[in-house]
Structure 1
């Protein structure tokens, strides 16, 4: 079973990195699925574990995904799958689902030098895993390493209490994914019994691994594979950093363009409203600015437009001023008398009214 994608949901079910029990998913499949998505996603996880290197690479792919990642443990997230779960921005353990954290395991075929290399690789993975568990839970790396060495199993509430999950109860747990749970020291008895009943056996897989070890000269070694995955991860991180830098640059250019446009609009309006032709035609000048006209076009249009008519109050005031100005003779005076005629008339009327 390859990675399943439905809308904004991704389902990761089976063995991590290989297809041991006709059910599994690889790092390459996960990266391909994520490349076709945009925005926040939900990842439904049900895996008993698998290849440590693939677990680390899938964790990195999800952790660097450009969007919020909600991981729901639907049946089990053990071993490498528990590390994948740590990539979630939010981690939910379904009711009845479990999580298991332990030191990585491997099978080696060869001499003492071959086994020594395997030990070196396992220690490197254990150290790296412990740091990621610590980052997610708030514990120290040393505390997480102790948890790993003890092969610790958690139900949903225990995972939340330990800091390895955020909440529980999203749904009822699904049956656990195919895996030989007898390979784990502290696996629940019902898981081991289920593995035996369904024939989920690591024996055949180990035999195949031993056979494949005879062909090291033509096949990529585990260390080479880990190095290749590490290089791929570094490339992904570099590409993400470059994309983020480009986005920041585009945002800065966009902000500058908006500021420049606003400044140009302010200057265009000021140029239009300061035109001599705009006086008495302010409303038309504002309309021409809003329509996008430049100062030259606005000047030409304003020059041929009539000046706005005076209001009734302005017209009345102008009439009264003209009437009063015309009520005097000889420049508003009579003969050599310095008192205006209209003022004399007012004074005479006042005198008569007192008699």
Structure 2
């Protein structure tokens, strides 16, 4: 029930060997920020999409559905700063926001990349903070298994790419060929260019956050991006980062306040660079 005529996208069957992850270059560009207390009609998307390596759960469709139930049939604002992640969760969140009966305003507070860019497209109005960025690309994820697993995943990814192209085309008014070329090339758009191409309508000045929690989140993100670029799978990064944080227990019990050792992260980063 979006005020715009945005396409409804069917749910896809998740390949059995699929492992969600945010793209390494998006993790590298992402600058985490500590989430402010949400106002009654505001939803903050300030984490990876889907399961998160620190809290056990990042921004999920279940969480967004709960927030929408609490807000009711009222206009909402969705603040986005995310490198993306699980494309299936991203599409589910897009469909939830698309079905909201009142106006949806999306504010890109820093980065809306990959699956997060799909979530942003559900806005009736999209605003970008000065210096913010969009990133669009083809479906991305890790798949392990035999030739049948790989073939099944490739077919699903192709269908997912077509669905994303439908969304971007409907939202921007750009030609389908141009959208597909942008996705194939992995395209990064700064605020002015995003508005020019129809991915957003206006700018705003985002508030600055530089508190201790945000600094720790930035250190973790830089370390995670370095490990991802080195080719380390997410499950192995999760184990190593928990050890660096001094929380060797299961991912579900780790929290953002678990006393992450920033100095240890910096030393490890310098070792990796060397």
Shorter-chain TM-score range: 0.5 to 0.7
Do 2:49 and 2:84's aligned partners in 1 also have CA atoms closer than 8 Å? yes
Are 1:12 and 1:45, in contact at CA under 8 Å, matched by a contact in 2? yes
TM-score of the superposition, structure 1-length normalised?
Answer: 0.50
Map residues 39-58 of structure 1 onto 2, 5 A cutoff: 39-58=74-93
Closer/same/farther in 2, CA of residues 146 and 3 from structure 1, 3 Å limit: farther
Deviation at 1:2, TM superposition (A): 10
Give the CA deviation at 1:204. Answer: 4.3
Q: Which residue of 1 aligns with 2:267?
A: none
Tell me, in whole angstroms, the C-alpha distance in 2 between the residues paired with 1:2 and 1:32: 18
3-state DSSP of counterpart to 1:36: helix
Offset, 1:168? 1.2
1:205 corresponds to: 234
Correspondence 1:101 to 2:136? yes
RMSD between superposed Cα atoms in Å = 2.8
1:6 positional shift: 2.0
Question: What is the CA–CA distance in structure 2 between the aligned matches of 1:73 and 1:41, rounded to whole Å?
Answer: 14
Partner secondary structure for residue 128 of structure 2:
strand
Deviation per residue, 1:187-220 (Å, 9 max, x gap): xxxx9x98444666442415489xxxxxxxxxxx
**Alpha-carbon offset, residue 59 of structure 1:** 0.5
Point out where structure 1 has 5 or more consecutive residues left out of the alignment.
179-190, 210-355
CA distance in 2, matches of 1:155, 1:174: 20
Q: What is the distance in 2 between the residues matched to 1:17 and 1:194? A: 17
Q: Is it true that 1:20 corresponds to 2:49 in the alignment?
A: no
Counterpart Cα distance in 2 of 1:112 and 1:133: 31
- In 1, Cα distance between equivalents of 2:166 and 2:176: 5
Determine if contact 1:40/1:69 at 8 Å carries over to the other structure: yes
Closer, same or farther in 2 for the Cα pair 1:9/1:195, shift >3 Å? closer
String of CA shifts for 1:274-318, please: whole Å, max 9, x gaps: xxxxxxxxxxxxxxxxxxxxxxxxxxxxxxxxxxxxxxxxxxxxx
1:11 aligns with 2:44: yes
CA contact (8 A) 1:130 1:142 kept: no
Match runs of 1:218-257 below 5 Å: none
SS in 2 for 1:59: helix
More helix as a share of residues = 1
Do the aligned residues in 2 keep the contact of 1:40 with 1:68 (CA within 8 Å)? yes
1:205-240 Cα deviation digits (max 9, x unpaired): 15489xxxxxxxxxxxxxxxxxxxxxxxxxxxxxxx
Larger Rg: 1
Unaligned runs of 5+ in 2: 1-33, 239-274
1:126-159 Cα offsets, whole Å, 9 max, x none, are 0000000000000122321111111000111111
Contact 1:195 1:201 in 2 (8 A): no
Q: Give the Cα–Cα distance (whole angstroms) in 2 for the partners of residues 196 and 63 of structure 1.
A: 33
The alpha-carbon distance between structure 1 residues 3 and 102, as it changes in their structure 2 partners (threshold 3 A), is farther
**Cα distance 1:194–1:17, how it changes in 2: closer, same or farther (>3 A)?**
closer
**More off after superposition, 143-152 vs 78-87:** 143-152
**Corresponding residue for 1:309?**
none
> What secondary structure is seen at the aligned counterpart in 1 of 2:155?
helix
Change in Cα spacing, 1:208 to 1:200, as seen in structure 2 (3 Å) is closer
What SS class does the counterpart of residue 24 from structure 1 fall into?
A: coil
